[in-house]
């Protein structure tokens, strides 16, 4: 249940490397509200400390990307997430179809 933010961050990074602000913006698109730096950077640091992501400087940005370990972990977490929330998803689809009628 815990660690949804880290999960989403890794999911983003599985698409393409991003820097912190970019990740925050993606989350804003999703959630409607932008996480504050105090939310995003500690999470990134934590992921990095666990060897799941690496960072490299590019100009003023620090670009994060998944490590090999991170890729594996992210895939597993993704599969777990899919299975776990499948019943809710089905409900989402159902609700959507109902609205169409």
Instruction: State the Cα–Cα distance between residues 101 and 98, nearest whole angstrom.
Output: 6
Report, in Å, the least distance between residue 79 CB and a copy of itself. 7
- Residue 30: contacted member of DNA, a copy of itself, none (CB under 5 to 8 Å, by partner type): a copy of itself
Using the rule CB under 8 A, is 11 a contact of a copy of itself?
A: yes
Q: Which stretch binds DNA (CB under 7 A): 33-41, 66-74, 83-91, 93-101?
A: 33-41
69-98 in b/e form (b: 16+ CB < 10 A) is: ebbebbeebeeeeeeeeeeeeeeeeeeeee
Binding-residue total with DNA (CB under 7 A):
29
Selection from 58, 84, 54, 83 nearest residue 71 by Cα:
54
Task: Confirm or reject binding of residue 2 to DNA (CB under 7 A).
Answer: yes
Is there binding between residue 42 and DNA (CB under 7 A)? Answer: yes
Per CB under 8 A, which of residues 41..60 are in contact with a copy of itself? none
């Amino acid at each position: 249940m815990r660690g949804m933010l880290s999960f989403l961050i890794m999911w983003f990074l599985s698409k393409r490397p991003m820097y912190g602000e970019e990740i925050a913006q993606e989350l804003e698109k999703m959630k409607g509200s932008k996480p504050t730096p105090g939310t995003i950077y500690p999470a990134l640091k934590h992921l990095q400390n666990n060897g799941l992501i690496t960072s490299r400087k590019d100009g003023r940005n620090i670009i994060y990307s998944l490590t090999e370990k991170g890729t594996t972990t992210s895939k597993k977490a993704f599969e777990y997430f899919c299975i776990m929330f499948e019943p809710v998803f089905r409900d989402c689809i159902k609700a959507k179809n109902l609205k169409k009628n």
